[in-house]
Structure 1
């Protein structure tokens, strides 16, 4: 017989809450994700006009319309999105991460990864599971309106924009997030 500890209870509760979040995909998987991606890009470009330049200069854009993150000692996040090249969806991806430590709360947010070089895009697409690392360049959402692609493309092959945060957790980081190709 197994002894259930508080840690097991918290982990089971966090997993249940994360599974219950509204970012799952039904039988219309691809079309549902595509509609969410289009809406997310439209919102981002309208709200942060400087990101439009990034989108035009990027070799590819990974759009995660809704990522749900929960934490109570143990935490995790999950979302689904699409990789677009020249404005067309070429693949679907999930983003997942796990964490442990002093944390409590829940939040939802959107994020977009701009692959600024063909090599960065090729590395991402060739990997079995690409993990965002510390070398990922972040653009704060409130700086998006003054962002210029020319100044950043030479510095970082992958640029992340995190926006539309709601919830009771402070901040969102993509470090340690694993992206995996899926079939919706």
Structure 2
């Protein structure tokens, strides 16, 4: 094996190991499924509170959505080859109704790791029904997500708010609007 292939293979395996470690936990909860669900739900509540603190418009949008998927810690990492994963919950009427895992794989010029909160709002009943009827939903294939590019104090346009599925991404630096989840797979979460 030549040196270049060795380095790329080693870096890729390191990225996979990092993601496997980061994504195999549910916030330190025990192996008890109820405790795992509670840990995810607690993280979802905290993420929503932080989102609402960042932008008051988000609270109105979440309240008017038919359902909201929240992934409090969507972790992406890699070097040349990478991936991302996180667990979250679908909320309807202010309560978690189901739990999901979102995963994504990527290849390209990338290096490092990042964690962000991802919020996917189903603004129409049709979009929510389509998501709930699937056993595995892929962003960009089964539905397009319009990411809201807002910062603190910026209003969301009426046109954006009328899209069937809109999203927010929240990093430690605040709201961002340039995230693309196309190709991300969202599947029902099974508990051990």
TM-score, normalised to structure 1, is 0.86
Which among 65, 68, 72 is matched to residue 75 of structure 2? 68
Where does residue 92 of structure 1 map in the other structure?
99
Question: Any idea what the Cα deviations from partners look like across 1:97-135, whole Å, max 9, x if unmatched?
Answer: 001111111111001000000110011111121111183
What CA RMSD, in Å, does the superposition of the two structures yield over aligned residues? 2.1
CA distance in 2, matches of 1:62, 1:161: 11
2:149 paired with 1:140? yes
Offset of residue 144 of structure 1? 6.5
Among residues 104, 108, 125, which one is paired with 2:132 in the alignment?
A: 125
**Structure 2 unaligned regions, length at least 5:** none
1:162-177 alignment runs, 5 A limit: 162-165=169-172, 172-177=179-184
SS in 1 for 2:9: helix
Partner of 1:111: 118
For the 8 Å contact 1:107–1:165, the answer to whether it is kept is: no
Structure 1 gap ranges (5+): none
Deviates more, 1:21-30 or 1:174-183: 21-30
Match of 1:152 among 151, 160, 170: 160
